[in-house]
A = this chain, B = another copy of it.
């Protein structure tokens, strides 16, 4: 079961959010709803938020490609939204999600699969779950 908001009430949500500080975008953190592992960070525009609220699946806005995208649209690795939180100044939201397979397009469960050591090196600590060349 995903969390959705009825279409009659979505405009209220948009009004509560602050899109002004990041050129029409809001920061979005996706967190595993059961383990609390942080899986992904991205931005969303109003349209992406509306799509997320309507479908119960996480949608984002790519600053690089300048377009709305649904997580998993090509890989099938969709994110089912379970809960949505907003921060104090309303410029960031936290999605508690159920991640299908893995969040990272590089094959890891979480995009945060590299950890810094005290020599200043980022070392891979995540386990590879799928082979990107077979999925994309």
Contacts and interface: CB of A to CB of B under 8 A. Distances in A.
Interface of A: 3-6, 9-13, 16, 21-22, 27, 29, 31, 35-38, 40-41, 53, 63-64, 83-89, 92, 94, 104-106, 108, 111-116, 118-122
29 contacts: A4-B118, A5-B116, A5-B119, A9-B119, A9-B121, A11-B120, A12-B120, A12-B121, A13-B116, A13-B120, A16-B122, A27-B41, A29-B29, A29-B38, A31-B38, A36-B36, A36-B37, A38-B38, A41-B94, A53-B120, A84-B115, A84-B116, A85-B116, A86-B122, A87-B104, A88-B105, A88-B108, A88-B111, A94-B112
A29 to B, nearest CB: 6
Given A29-B38, A29-B41, A94-B112, A63 B21 contact: yes
Contacts of A13: 116, 120, 122
A37 B36 CA distance: 7
Given A5-B118, A87-B104, 17 more contacts: A6-B118, A6-B120, A9-B120, A9-B121, A12-B120, A13-B120, A21-B64, A27-B27, A36-B37, A40-B87, A41-B87, A53-B120, A86-B114, A88-B108, A92-B111, A92-B112, A94-B112
